[in-house]
Structure 1
């Protein structure tokens, strides 16, 4: 697994390795506003993730997910630290839980 010191390094490194789609998190799916691609939790796997904790500012906390669909589409999801259950479906919450 790769290591990165910042969110920007992780995003740039993953994009260089082919994770080029920028995903947005919705209640029951991931979607990309630049393409018609939408993925339900059963349509993708998290292949890597990188967790960043802010030293002095909780607003600096984030997780960068490397996402790959069953069809080979690869992209990124960057979220604030800790998935908030508000507005998300149970299946999506389970998929995005960091289990390590």
Structure 2
């Protein structure tokens, strides 16, 4: 189950997740979610436990979503995306999982 929060800045959201033990960094690359440890995860190898939204005050392009992610192997980390992140040629299943969670929790 995802918990959603709205914060004034992305850094506040990241700090909140760090305090909850989400101490790794995740990035999207090609068809995978990549951890800064070098681990790679497909869409069915992680769960989204927290979602934080940052909405730009003057420019909608400043919007970002911060995800608290836990892999099936127990690695907990943070993924930060902006709308432009979804224009990269990634796995549709990963995009779908992220967008469904984001949409369901707004």
Q: Which has the higher contact order (CA 8 A, sep 6+)?
A: 2
**Conserved in 2, the CA contact under 8 Å of 1:47 and 1:67?**
yes
Verify: 1:22 aligned to 2:28, yes or no: no
TM-score, normalised relative to structure 2: 0.82
**Conserved in 2, the CA contact under 8 Å of 1:27 and 1:92?**
no
Flag the structure with higher strand content.
2
- The alpha carbon displacement at 1:42 in A equals 0.5
Q: Within 5 A, what are the aligned runs for 1:1-100?
A: 1=3, 3=5, 4-32=7-35, 34-81=36-83, 84-97=86-99, 98=102, 99-100=104-105
- The alpha carbon displacement at 1:90 in A equals 1.2
The CA distance in 1 between the partners of 2:85 and 2:27, in whole Å, is: 13
- The alpha carbon displacement at 1:2 in A equals 7.0
**Conserved in 1, the CA contact under 8 Å of 2:4 and 2:50?**
no
TM-score, normalised relative to structure 1: 0.86
Gapped regions of structure 2 (runs ≥ 5): none
Gapped regions of structure 1 (runs ≥ 5): none
Number of residue-to-residue matches in the alignment = 99
Flag the structure with higher helix content.
2
